[in-house]
Amino acid sequence: MTASPLLVAYLSMEIALSSELPTYAGGLGVLAGDHLRAAADTGVAMVAVTLLYRKGYFRQVLDAQGHQQERDVQWLPEHHLERVSAQVAVTIEGREVKVGAWRTWIHGAGGGRVPVYLLDTDVDGNEDEDRRITDHLYGGEERYRLQQEAVLGLGGRRLLAALELTPTRYHLNEGHSSLLALELLALELSRRPDDLAGAIAAVRERCVFTTHTPIPAGHDRFPKALATAVLGRELVELYARLPTPHSAEINMSALGIELSGFVNGVSQRHAEVSAGMFPGRTIHAITNGVHSATWTAPAMRAVFDRWIPEWRRHAHALRGAQKIPTDAIVAAHREAKRALVDEINRHGDHNFGEERFTIGFARRATAYKRMLLILRDVRRLREVASRWGALQIVFAGKAHPRDLEGKRMIEAVFRQQEVVLPWVRIAFLPGYDMRLGGLITAGVDLWLNTPMAPLEASGTSGMKAAHNGVPNLSVRDGWWCEGYIEGQTGWVLAPGHPSDDADAAQLYRVLDEEILPLYLGAPERWAERMRASIALAASYFNAHRMLGEYLDRAYAPRW
């Protein structure tokens, strides 16, 4: 019997398609978009499903004190997407909810393309409440989230069937789409009602699950009473038949893992951590990567085009960056830095200068990321800066609307802006998105990453920086456990310190004794480190390599 041609259906609650489309909140969505961009480049047959968020995640507004306010995003899907005629229905709280869809295409460097379908419940015939199910990304309470997950998992599978697409693999990007696997099991059992083990095995043959969450509290859980009310008794009773350890809640990650034949974390370290959370299942490691052409600044892209013409289709060719003259890399970075400084100075009276050493910290504003670590001892920071002739630090990032501690962190950065003058200048740029992220990762001189280990599943911003010749200073966690090469790709903050004070002290010491002396005192050696970041880090931590691993280990084989 001839095997079916490979077709991978990729389901994700968020996918970053472009800065103009409010279909993502942060790293999970950006990773999803890069995954699909790599598929378009390399010709891997994929189709993606997500939700259409008419009001987006939120538009961040910061006042003069750094207080975050959230505004709905205003956009018109019909200006960016094409509506498809197929329509399906999902039963939610006993009501038949119609689910429409829109489509866009991701086009690749080699002429390939990947369709992305965005599910939409703002459909004529639905009740007003149901029309709002897909309004907000990560909005509302448990009930709203579970309704969305029903639309994504159940509606996503049904839409693909209505389009007469028959995936050979379903890739569930986090637990939000795990209900798809449960419905596949229900369909299998309709054909073999007395063979639960065989039905589970058949579903596992078709499902791949990726977890991005290194702590138990980060996985979606819903009380069974709520799940019964939203999804109906049959699905909840089917969940109860699974061999997964049960509680009074439905754990969406545990569900996806139970029904997937291949399960992976997103770095070597994260896979080890995840194995402890899900005993009895093998958690493989496929370390994340970023889409090289998307995250490399225009001037640096031009350098790569000249010296490594095949890099857009084969990102591993960036290993050849060692043959690029360092002055070409430095000149391209200077252009990226100028663009960033111009952007910063447009946002206020920051007086950033191109000649000053600039540190970047841009990511979700939440406690474990430790945004404030570099500002923990302002006296010491000013002392380091005064010795070396001034520092600039650019911050960006959104706090979840309900993350009060994250919001307070942003406010604390604003309070320090005057305190650190004149030797340190600080800017916090509002509205962190793909465009701003690209400007910052490309334009700074050093990328800073200071999470509490082992809470960083992977992290990808440092990979983007490396594509632009920007070295990293990072805690040894996530991807940096693999990406750090001493004397080449950056610097490491050793784990195991007993307090934030100790970590901050080490950060200041490395800046004062290693990084700034190299940058200001040995510019040729600094340029060599920039080049090594491209050749050794970017050549591996890219989405082409990542997708190749999924293809070889998860999509193509039989387990």
Is the distance from CB of 427 to CB of 384 less than 8 angstroms? no
Cα separation of 492 and 476, whole Å? 6
Give the pLDDT of residue 332: 99
Give the pLDDT of residue 140: 83
Burial class (CB in 10 A: 0-12, 13-18, 19+), 123: middle
172 and 46 part of one domain: yes
Burial class (CB in 10 A: 0-12, 13-18, 19+), 553: middle
Residue 497: pLDDT band (50, 70, 90) is low
Residue 3: pLDDT band (50, 70, 90) is low
Q: Does any domain span residue 135? A: no
349 and 210 part of one domain: no
Residue 2: pLDDT band (50, 70, 90) is very low
Residue 349: pLDDT band (50, 70, 90) is confident
- pLDDT tens digits for 118-168? 999 999 999 999 999 999 999 889 999 999 999 999 999 999 999 999 999
User: Distance between alpha carbon 159 and the CA centroid of its chain, in Å?
Assistant: 25
How many C-beta atoms lie closer than 10 Å to residue 102's C-beta?
A: 17
Residue 187 Cα distances to 18, 211, 238, angstroms: 36, 25, 11
- pLDDT tens digits for 546-559? 999 999 999 987 65
Structure tokens at 369: 């990321």
Q: Does any domain span residue 56? A: no
236 and 267 part of one domain: yes
250 and 343 part of one domain: no
- pLDDT tens digits for 171-210? 999 999 999 999 999 999 999 999 999 999 999 999 999 9
229 and 300 part of one domain: no
- Backbone region of residue 278 per phi and psi (left: phi > 0; alpha: psi in -120 to 50; beta: other values): beta
Tell me the average pLDDT of the chain: 96
Give the pLDDT of residue 1: 38
370 and 518 part of one domain: yes
Residue 191, H or E segment:
helix 179-191
281 and 298 part of one domain: no
- pLDDT tens digits for 30-79? 999 999 999 999 999 999 999 999 999 999 999 999 999 999 999 999 99
Burial class (CB in 10 A: 0-12, 13-18, 19+), 367: middle
Domain count, the chain: 2
527 and 506 part of one domain: yes
Q: Does any domain span residue 476? A: yes
Q: Does any domain span residue 380? A: yes
Q: Does any domain span residue 111? A: no
Q: Does any domain span residue 531? A: yes
Give me the domain span that covers residue 152.
8-50+142-288+546-555
| Entry pTM | 0.96
183 and 328 part of one domain: no
Pairing of strands 82-92, 68-71: unpaired
Q: What is the CATH number of the domain that holds 251?
A: 3.40.50.2000
- pLDDT tens digits for 237-272? 999 999 876 778 999 999 999 999 999 999 999 999
- pLDDT tens digits for 276-332? 999 889 999 999 999 999 999 999 999 999 999 999 999 999 999 999 999 999 999
Give the pLDDT of residue 384: 98
Give the pLDDT of residue 190: 97
Pairing of strands 68-71, 59-62: antiparallel
Give the pLDDT of residue 193: 95
Q: Does any domain span residue 113? A: no
358 and 489 part of one domain: yes
231 and 345 part of one domain: no
Judged against a pLDDT cut of 60, whether residue 397 lies above it is answered with yes
456 and 522 part of one domain: yes
- pLDDT tens digits for 429-438? 999 999 999 9
Cα separation of 535 and 519, whole Å? 19
Give the pLDDT of residue 245: 65
Q: Does any domain span residue 109? A: no
